[in-house]
Chains A and B, each alone.
Chain A
Amino acid sequence: MSTLNRKAWGDLTRHRPRTLLAVCTLSIAIASLGFLAVPALLNAAMNRQIAGSHLYDVGIFTSTLDLSPAQLGALGRLPGVAAVSPAVGYATTAASAAGPQDVELAGTALASAPVNTVALFTGQMPGPGEVLADAGNARATGFAIPSGGTIDVRAAGGRLVRLRVSGTGMNLAATPGANGSTTPVFYAQTATVQALRGVRGYNYLGFRLTHDAAAAQSRVVAEVRAYLTAQTGADPITALPAVRAPGQWPGQSGFNQIMALLYIITILAFASALFLISATMNTLVAEQASEIAILKTLGGRRRQIAGITVRTAAMLGAAAAVLGSILGIAIAYLLAGYFAVKLIDVSFGFAISVPVVVASLVLGPALAVAASVPALRRALGQPVAETLARAVTSGYGSGWLDRLVARSGLLAGAGVPGSVRMGVRNALRQKRRSAATIAQVAVAAGLAIAFLALGQSITAVISQTIGKLHFSIGVGVASTRGARPFGSQALAVAATTPGITGAEPVETSSVQYNGQTYVAWGLGAHPLYSYRLSAGHWFTTAHTAADAGTAIPPVVLGPALARAARASVGQILTLSVAAGPTRVRVIGIDTVPTNNGDTVYFPLPVLERLDGGPGTANSIWLTTASTAHTAIDRAATAAANRLAAAGYPVSTTEIYITEAQITAADTAILTIVDILGLVVVAIMLMGLVSTLSMGVIERTREVGILRCVGARARQIRRVFSAEAVVLAVAGWAFGVLLGWLIYQGLLTLLLHDASISLPQEFPPVIPLVTLAGVVVLTVIVIRGPLRRATRIEPGTALRYQ
């Protein structure tokens, strides 16, 4: 059998460039499996991180409670509670060169907290008068202060207090990026934050449970509520408790959205690579047709002959599997690390997903062998004499399509150069290979089209949501002690600030429905928000009158919530608010995807009452005279200062900054997706180069004849570039269809998996831009094969066998 092995090896080494091309292609296909390891790697790393930081199972926000060690001990011994850790949060502003900057300070037991332990990354844990900067501040908020630097934080009394930054660290429960916040976070000793707030006590309790399940979580919340109410005489729970589902981590939902896209890309990349593999193996086997015929005349049995090819394929596959696995491990490591830093601001070490690596190593040879089987069957089925006779001429003209194209007069016009005509028809010669190339181009172009359209949808949704907000500045109550809700006096102060043209009181909080948390907005009858209802109507002035006494209050639902609740106008829903369950009547359904469509709109007085009492709006929306950013900044600062002076410490949000942040976040996701899409494009280009190179190699003799009958280098190039362009444009045409389908799939997927509803955006410019891209890339990558074709010398070519 050794000669058979030798022949298998010889078949690989005979056409080294082509073997290399096949191995590279196959290895890229295998490497794309590395994507599949990313979720596992990231989950494992995050679970280590969660275990290390003792992340909360239940987090309860309270009014300021000065809990004694004995009371904390009692909380820790409540049934189902494994550990409790109190913290004090303080939202204020810091003075910075760019004006006042909102910041959040968290006073905790830091490294020794049994729940929500703060991990130290660089520098030292903060001592008195010091803070530790969250590692996510720089990326998520753009507010980075180096270790050894200082920040000047406004204390409750209004005075600025200078704090030294002792280092960087992180607590997964608070870190801004992963939690979807854009406010920088600093950790400090409890006493430091209490001193700034000007009051003793805590406003947050983090719990870990002995048995973390949904039922246990609500039981613990009830137990804690009962205990604290008994101790303090009132229910101190001010907001919906934060519960973390088992195995969940902050930032996971954003990550899951990207993963959905990643899986789609993996599947398409792999499909595209499969086409290429089968085309490559097909060519390798087809080339052997005459040798197979000779082996048969020498008495070779089908099994023996097939054995040679299978061995060749397995060797090729094994080489590709090793190369591809190494590449895949690198891709998975880099991607997982990149996502960890980009989405959660956590970095972690090198790891390997063993199942994915094993699958990659096994799949390489298996795929290569499987891909060569159809061609092998065909070659073995050919009669010997026919195969040997055919070695001289190509099979063109044996199919109806060939004859149709030749006779139809298509491209037969006198104006079409013969070289172009030949190129176009050459594309029909190796139909399988051409089809594979077209499929690869289609997948790549389709992905490009789908993602470009998705980008358009996201841009459109940003303008559709932010564009519906007709104010420039949002003012919120600072979470300092003594901060009062906004009554008519605060409104008047804000409205009379220079540069401000109007002020509207708004209540913002959250509600739960069916275990999910939704945003609640309390608005007036004519808000600075332009709703676009698909059913029902908006609140009337009667609904929003301060003394509106409806037993069941009216609400308008955002589109995602309406879909989730299958709600219709007139329906009664039971929502949970901080105070407990309450019934509401749906009077309208909105189509604007504000907060991803997860918004419940209440009449302002209703939400105020549910959140604590009338005239207690916690936000003010301000309109400005000018839309210039500097004017808006100036007006925001002026309003904040005047409100603070009037006894209303506030934080402000400029809408243009929010818009920029959302756009940046979406762009980041699309960039990641685009980078991954490049892998598919790389496979496509490889396919084009491979198809054309093999065409050139096979047609060496024909090129020689063309040279004999007077063809210039330019004319030879035109034959092959016509073929490539025909394949590329045909691929693009299928790609438009495929792209539209992928795009629809993405929209559906985002709607189902992430409840993100995006508008349909498929302008013709997207396919046209893609066409231009496909043609330009094609023209660039075929330069190599073209050069090879023109270098063929007629004398050698005509003797080429």
Chain B
Amino acid sequence: MTGIAAAPAIVELAGVEKTYRSGRVAFRALSGVDLSIAAGEMVAITGPSGSGKTTIINLIAGIDRPTAGTVTVHGSRLDQMTEEQLAVWRGHTIGIVFQFFQLMPTLTAVENATLPLDLARFGPVRERKAVASRHLATVGLGDRGDRLPLELSGGEQQRVAIARAMACGPPILLGDEPTGNLDTALARDMFELLKGLNGNGTTVVYVTHDQALAGLASRIVSVRDGLIVGDTGR
């Protein structure tokens, strides 16, 4: 474990604050977060509901911007990039899996898994579908490629979401309660998939409520009231 920690940081949050404003009410979701994750780590983020876990994931993904502090991911200063630059950057660098799967309802499983390849214009046009099909086979859905999301079970939908996250072979994979909507057995299967990806060198950061699932990670970061209150990797 200490060996991995010596590797260069792929995610670097320094002095990050995040305040949400809705109307006249301002809510401070993060108040001074420093977090460094090395390439190849598998990190679990835990904490009570509303503590700021999603906010951290979104900042790493460049989906949200910090109110103060710097976010450096895979060598890019996200807080200094435009929305458009971030989108392109995400396409190559980040794979995300959400709690509610968030598949495109009008696209079939294999089309959903191909989507990031099309968006990033990744590889030759004719081979993209084959790449996506391979990813679907990896998550055990080789025979369900032509189903629409509505025709798939929750577990199957989440596997498509993982295949989609894997599409461009991103160096970082993020999960925001990726198994929150699955039963325990399915959640275990899912984590085997994530562990496999991590074994191949992908940095994996995920949020979970489940202590058992958090224990599968090499490092656990605990968040409470917008602050990091515990970190097994430090």
Chain A residues packing against B (C-beta within 8 Å): 392-398, 402-403, 406-407, 412, 414-415, 417-419, 421-422, 425-426, 428-429, 701-702, 704-713, 715, 793-795, 798
Contact = CB atoms under 8 A, between A and B. Distances in A.
Contacts of B146: 406-407
A393 B105 contact: yes
Contacts of B148: 396-397, 402-403, 406
Contacts of A707: 63, 83, 87, 90
A426 B106 CA distance: 7
Interface residues on B, range: 35 or more
B125 A415 contact: yes
Given A422-B104, A702-B104, 14 more contacts: A393-B105, A396-B105, A403-B151, A406-B106, A406-B148, A414-B125, A419-B119, A708-B63, A708-B90, A709-B91, A709-B115, A709-B119, A713-B84, A798-B102
B222 interface: no
B149 A425 contact: no
Contacts of B107: 406, 418, 421-422, 425
Interface of B: 58, 61, 63-65, 83-84, 87-92, 94, 96, 98, 100, 102, 104-108, 111, 114-116, 118-120, 125-126, 128-129, 146, 148-151, 164, 167-168
A414 B106 contact: no
B105 A397 contact: yes
B119 A712 contact: yes
Contact of B126 (A403, A414, A710, A713): A414
Given A418-B119, A701-B102, A710 B125 contact: no
Contacts of B125: 414-415
Contacts of A706: 104, 115, 119
A775 B52 CA distance: 47
Given A397-B150, A712-B84, A795 B104 contact: no
A412 B145 CA distance: 12
A422 B105 CA distance: 9
B172 to A, nearest CB: 13
Contacts of B126: 414
Contacts of A398: 150
A514 to B, nearest CB: 65
Contacts of A414: 125-126, 128-129
A701 B107 CA distance: 15
22 contacts: A396-B106, A397-B150, A397-B151, A402-B106, A406-B107, A406-B146, A417-B118, A419-B118, A419-B119, A704-B63, A706-B115, A707-B87, A709-B91, A709-B96, A709-B167, A710-B87, A710-B88, A713-B84, A713-B87, A715-B119, A794-B63, A795-B64
Contacts of A407: 108, 146
A708 B106 contact: no
Residue from A422, A428, A704 with most neighbouring chain B CB atoms (10 Å): A422
Contacts of A798: 58, 63, 98, 102
A393 B149 contact: yes
A414 B149 CA distance: 20
Contacts of A421: 107, 111
A393 B150 contact: yes
Interface of B is mostly: helix
Contacts of A795: 58, 63-65
A793 B20 CA distance: 14
A640 to B, nearest CB: 76
A536 B234 CA distance: 110
B127 to A, nearest CB: 8
A710 B106 contact: no
B90 A710 contact: yes
B104 A708 contact: no
Nearest to A791: B83
A606 to B, nearest CB: 77
A712 B88 contact: yes
Give 3 closest A-B pairs by Cβ, nearest first: A710-B91, A397-B150, A397-B148
A286 to B, nearest CB: 15
Contact of B108 (A393, A406, A415, A426): A406
Nearest to B101: A393
Contact of B149 (A397, A422, A708, A709): A397
Contacts of B119: 418-419, 706, 709-712, 715
B83 A793 contact: yes
Contacts of B84: 712-713
Nearest to A426: B106
Contacts of A392: 100
B174 to A, nearest CB: 9
A705 B90 CA distance: 11
A637 B88 CA distance: 79
Contact of B104 (A417, A705, A712): A705
Residue from A403, A418, A429 with most neighbouring chain B CB atoms (10 Å): A418
B90 to A, nearest CB: 5
A418 B118 contact: yes
Contacts of B114: 418
Contact of B120 (A702, A705, A710, A794): A710
A417 B84 CA distance: 19
A415 B121 CA distance: 12
A395 B146 CA distance: 17
A425 B106 contact: yes
Contacts of B94: 708
Contacts of A711: 87, 91, 119
A103 to B, nearest CB: 72
B30 to A, nearest CB: 13
A396 B150 contact: yes
B91 A422 contact: no
Nearest to B100: A392
A419 B128 CA distance: 15
Contacts of B102: 701-702, 705, 798
Contacts of A708: 61, 63, 90, 94, 96
A428 B94 CA distance: 31
Nearest to B146: A407
A271 B182 CA distance: 49
Contacts of B100: 392
Nearest to B90: A710
Contacts of A395: 150
Contacts of A394: 105
A711 B129 CA distance: 18
Contacts of B167: 709
B70 to A, nearest CB: 17
A709 B111 contact: no
A414 B118 CA distance: 9
Nearest to A424: B106
Nearest to A394: B105
A719 to B, nearest CB: 10
Nearest to B95: A709
A397 B151 CA distance: 7
Contacts of B63: 704, 707-708, 794-795, 798
A63 to B, nearest CB: 84
A709 B105 contact: no
B94 to A, nearest CB: 8
A611 to B, nearest CB: 78
Given A393-B105, A396-B105, A402-B148, A412 B111 contact: yes
A78 to B, nearest CB: 84
A556 to B, nearest CB: 67
Nearest to A715: B119
Nearest to B115: A418
Contact of B106 (A422, A705, A713): A422
A689 B148 CA distance: 28
Contacts of B90: 707-710
Contacts of A429: 105-106
A396 B152 CA distance: 13
A414 B110 CA distance: 12
